[in-house]
Amino acid sequence: MEHFEILDKVYWVGKVDWELRKFHGEEYSTFKGSTYNSYLIRDNKNILIDTVWAPFAKEFVRSLSNTIELEKIDCIVMNHGEIDHSGSLPELLNEIPDVPLYCTANAVKSLKGHYNRNWNFNIVKTGDRLSTGSRELIFIEAPMLHWPDSMFCYLTETNILFSNDAFGQHYASESLYNDQVPQNELWEECLKYYANILAPFSPLVKKKINEFVSMQLPVQMICPSHGVIWRQDPLQIVKQYGEWASSYKENRITIVYDTMWNATRRIAETIADGILAEDPDVKLKVFNAARADKTEIIAEIFRSKAVLVGSSTINKGILSAVGGLLEQIRGLSFKGKKAASFGSYGWSGEAQGIINRLLEASGFDLLPDGPKILWYPYNEDLEKCKLYGKEVASVCK
Ligand code: FEO
């Protein structure tokens, strides 16, 4: 995408990555690609905010040099040190090595840690200001949204909040404005992003939103570092973050399992039948953890009021797809959700106890245990599964 002016000589100079399918290693699926948003403020001083991921470094520097002579960049603001935003710094700073780089004290650590270079670092704190000439950038530290080094900055007069990862989405689109993309796609990606990246820091998200609101700064646009720019009703995403950060749940139940010979699958599906028989209005999804996408399963659990987790017992343990998923969930600190286990076994049957312990350690409120079926569920077993589903629906209503 070619560079374009967003507002009053503030330009988008980033990269749309249509190809990206995995982010954070293999942890996060990005079926709709992503963008790395870098911004250039042209004023008496020319200020670059963030760069793009390293594979695009040469492309980024070349494109930037077509928009502005690199020597005319007066300083760079790094809102965050993670590689997807700082990855082009080495290439850029080879061209303009002495340019001042403004960031938090923690970003000096992360940038030095990643690149082992002594650039011209200038540490800023919340409330510090940097003049662009006719306007000012106000810095707002945002530790753990989502790294210790994270920071926002706000451009006065034009009233733009550059929020870095917060309020972003991994979403490549032909337009970078929130009002010009399909709203269902946009909000799915926003929620998936919050659930998988920001959920562990929900208390800090709430605190930061309150702090920002108390600063009473008018907001005309929010420019995150991934996905669309919020220009139409920009505070809608802030309001939504406030809800997501508050033990969020919808009238929704998720069932997730792995199965060796389909017994646990049959149990899962029969529990689902019972839930829907009791509460036809509840939204429900059933996932095989070994086949479905983990990032999407996590987004679904984040939206749910309850999650039921099943596994066959194997070698006195649980199937690895369920184990991996539960480990990922543990770190996300979901709040206010109910959970239970179910499963099948042939002789020893340890799986449910293990799942229960993992769910409890992740902060879920345990419901009574689900069915534990020897070999394969027939007749009364299936009745038991359906009845259990009804009980879950009833308790969760
Ligand atoms: Fe988009 Fe935390 O980097």
13 and 151 assigned to the same domain: yes
Domain boundary among 200, 220, 244: 244
Q: Structural domain of residue 214, as residue ranges?
A: 4-244
Tens of pLDDT along 93-130?
999 999 999 999 999 999 999 999 999 999 999 999 99
Under the banding of pLDDT at 50, 70 and 90, the label for residue 26 is: confident
Atom number of ligand 1 nearest to Cα 226: 1
Tens of pLDDT along 307-352?
999 999 999 999 999 999 999 999 999 999 999 999 999 999 999 9
Strands annotated E in 259-337:
283-288, 306-314, 317-318
132 and 203 assigned to the same domain: yes
351 and 378 assigned to the same domain: yes
Interval 363-386 mean pLDDT? 98
Catalytic residue numbers, as ranges: 24, 80, 82, 84, 146, 165, 193, 226
> Of 59, 44, 60, 57, whose CA–CA distance to 9 is shortest?
44
- CB-ligand 1 contact for 32 (6 Å cutoff): no
- Beta-carbon count within 10 A of 296 CB: 17
Tens of pLDDT along 280-304?
999 999 999 999 999 999 999 999 9
- Residue 146 CA to ligand 1 center (angstroms) comes to 8
CATH number for position 81: 3.60.15.10
CATH number for position 380: 3.40.50.360
142 and 112 assigned to the same domain: yes
Statement: residue 271 has pLDDT above 90: yes
Full-model pTM: 0.96
Q: Distance from CA of residue 131 to its chain's centroid?
A: 32
State whether residue 260 is helix, strand or coil: coil
Residues 6+ apart with CB under 8 A from 26: none
210 and 160 assigned to the same domain: yes
Atom number of ligand 1 nearest to Cα 165: 1
183 and 214 assigned to the same domain: yes
182 and 278 assigned to the same domain: no
Tens of pLDDT along 190-248?
999 999 999 999 999 999 999 999 999 999 999 999 999 999 999 999 999 999 999 99
- Residue 82 CA to ligand 1 center (angstroms) comes to 5
State whether residue 371 is helix, strand or coil: coil
Whose CA is closest to atom 1 on ligand 1? 165
Number of domains within the chain:
2
- Residue 388 CA to ligand 1 center (angstroms) comes to 42
- Residue 217 CA to ligand 1 center (angstroms) comes to 25
Under the banding of pLDDT at 50, 70 and 90, the label for residue 142 is: very high
Whose CA is closest to atom 3 on ligand 1? 82
300 and 218 assigned to the same domain: no
